[in-house]
Chains A and B, each alone.
Chain A
Amino acid sequence: MRQSSIIGVILVVLTVTASGNSAPPPQASPKEVIVKYWKFETAGGRLTTDGWENASAFFVKLGRPPLERRISVIAGGYAVSDVVINGNSADVMIQILPQGQIDSKLKFTPSAAEKGAVACHLILSGTYWSTDAGAEAPVERTGPPEWRIDGSGEIIWLEPIAAVRYVTDMKRKSNDPIVTKNADQTLSELAKLH
């Protein structure tokens, strides 16, 4: 009787301890995270300062906005597939229709092939970095484990409509005649894509 009571207490303690140590499951699967991110990204989510900061929720450690942006333009259709989960890491593939790249001078260079894919590596982590408004350096934060993209997000992926918006805006802000000329040619190319 006494022995079984002790065992019962131990079992209760072990159960409580175990449940206390186990992390809650992530809110979203790797595929769900990528689908949400890709919609945000390709619509131009990271083209604004606030948007870039908001994007840190998708990354383990999103880098600072680059001084010279590189834009990859994709046609509207895409498909998220091929999810492979291995412990606390996952790989997800996005099938895309690449159209071209826009450099910091707003010059458009057509892509090399009509089809392609984007490989995303994700990590299940409760630690991530984000930047407070006005702050210089990102701050390490902790929270419930979530699937986050491993990488610094150097390149921006845009659908044609968002790319038109971006080039138009950058052209308006520039006094460089080369940039203006490139922008006009790029807008002409983008007009054929949507």
Chain B
Amino acid sequence: MWATPTGSPSNSGTADALCECAIQISANGDSESIARGGSTATQSMQHGGTAGLVQPLSVANCPICDLPPTTPLGSTESPSCTTFAGSGPTYLLLIGDPGIGKYNAGPNWDIVGQTTANSLVASVSNNNVVACRVSSVENVTTALTSEGFIGGGVVYIGHGGPFNIYSVSTGQVLGQASILAPGQEAGNDYNISSMNYLQLAAVVTAANGKNNIAPGASILINGCSAAVPVVDYYAGGAQMFTIAQLISNATQTVVFAYKQGMYVSLNSATQAKSYNYKGEPNPIPASLPLYLIPEGPPGQKPLPIQFEP
């Protein structure tokens, strides 16, 4: 049933039939997080034996961790945001929902976001950072259009990757769709897909008729496999799509995205000592810094692929 026509839906075409997702347990032992592997080397589940998925009460020095989700998730257009003031251009961080059940990332997206924000503010440019907790395509659109001019860039941190469309009768995989999943609930608006990506086009005229993202700025998708092309079931026909390309088209902005699966690491991609989650602590500490990086050999981590509008 879970076999997919083009291989694993969470990576770039490995011919596996089953899950290669890894569960990374956070240090407090009460929350689980997911890092999705991207190669046949990560076929097995790593179980930590915790029973609950309780969020930690707080993470030190992580205001992003305290951003409330919209209630109920995805129901309102305005996300909750916080600003880390700097004198440089503005970067917008979009932090998705942690996920449900076996795919609950716990506080890890928030901690990765806080690590990113701290780095941007501390840089020579002293960037201004706005971080928003997003749970729907509407949240993302509002954040892109209503949080000031984005002179630096946009970074998405959250779930994503191709998902399967099954037959209700046989359970067989009928096709795939390339999505980002800012929201953790089921439903079209909780995802960004070929069905609703054009909502993001509002950004193109949001700055007094001009694009609210500066010409030199770009969008980095820090989520699984957004650069993997699939024959999109929703789009029909035999055309290959990536959600990264569709977002680039809608926003008229350069998008960078990975083909690989991603995992949470203590080190940045350039300094990583691990190939995948197996080289990271288990449990992984629920503290700063954490990075969401692609699978690949240490010192030779793959770079994101560039998509032009």
CA distance A119 to B177 in the complex (A): 13
* CB contact list, B173-200 vs A, under 8 A: 174, 177, 179, 181, 184-188, 191, 195
Determine whether A172 belongs to the interface, using a CB cutoff of 8 Å to chain B.
no
Most central of A77, A78, A149 by chain B CB within 10 Å: A77
Task: Write the chain B residue with the least CB distance to A193.
Answer: B101
A97-B101 in contact given A81-B188, A112-B10, A116-B163 (Cβ < 8 Å): yes
CA distance A101 to B18 in the complex (A): 10
Query: Inter-chain contact count A-B, CB under 8 Å?
Result: 135
Determine whether B41 belongs to the interface, using a CB cutoff of 8 Å to chain A.
no
Chain A 37-72, CB-CB to B under 8 Å as 1, else 0, gives: 000000000000000000000000000000000101
Interface segment out of the listed B129-137, B148-156, B164-172, B213-221: B164-172
Task: Write the chain A residue with the least CB distance to B225.
Answer: A113
Determine whether B285 belongs to the interface, using a CB cutoff of 8 Å to chain A.
no
Determine whether A95 belongs to the interface, using a CB cutoff of 8 Å to chain B.
yes
Determine whether A30 belongs to the interface, using a CB cutoff of 8 Å to chain B.
no
Question: Number of contact residues on B: which range applies?
Answer: 35 or more
- Tell me the interface secondary structure of chain B in the complex: loop
Task: Write the chain B residue with the least CB distance to A95.
Answer: B186
Taking a contact as CB atoms under 8 Å apart, the answer to whether B100 and A110 are in contact is: no
A118-B165 in contact given A109-B18, A192-B102 (Cβ < 8 Å): yes
Task: Write the chain B residue with the least CB distance to A59.
Answer: B169
Determine whether A75 belongs to the interface, using a CB cutoff of 8 Å to chain B.
yes
Taking a contact as CB atoms under 8 Å apart, the answer to whether B102 and A77 are in contact is: no
Contacts of B84 in A (CB 8 A): none
Determine whether A82 belongs to the interface, using a CB cutoff of 8 Å to chain B.
yes
A115-B179 in contact given A97-B186, A155-B1 (Cβ < 8 Å): yes
Kindly identify which residue among A100, A111, A118, A192 contacts B168, using a CB–CB cutoff of 8 Å: A118
CA distance A120 to B171 in the complex (A): 11
**Chain A: minimal CB distance from B183 (Å):** 10
CA distance A112 to B171 in the complex (A): 13
Taking a contact as CB atoms under 8 Å apart, the answer to whether B171 and A154 are in contact is: yes
Contacts of B167 in A (CB 8 A): 118-119, 151
A-B contact pairs, 24 of them (CB 8 A): A77-B186, A79-B186, A79-B188, A93-B165, A97-B101, A97-B184, A97-B186, A101-B1, A110-B45, A111-B2, A114-B34, A114-B100, A114-B159, A115-B163, A116-B163, A116-B164, A116-B166, A117-B163, A117-B177, A151-B170, A153-B169, A154-B171, A192-B52, A192-B102
* New contact pairs (7) apart from A98-B164, A113-B162, CB-CB < 8 Å: A72-B171, A95-B187, A110-B45, A112-B2, A114-B181, A155-B169, A192-B32
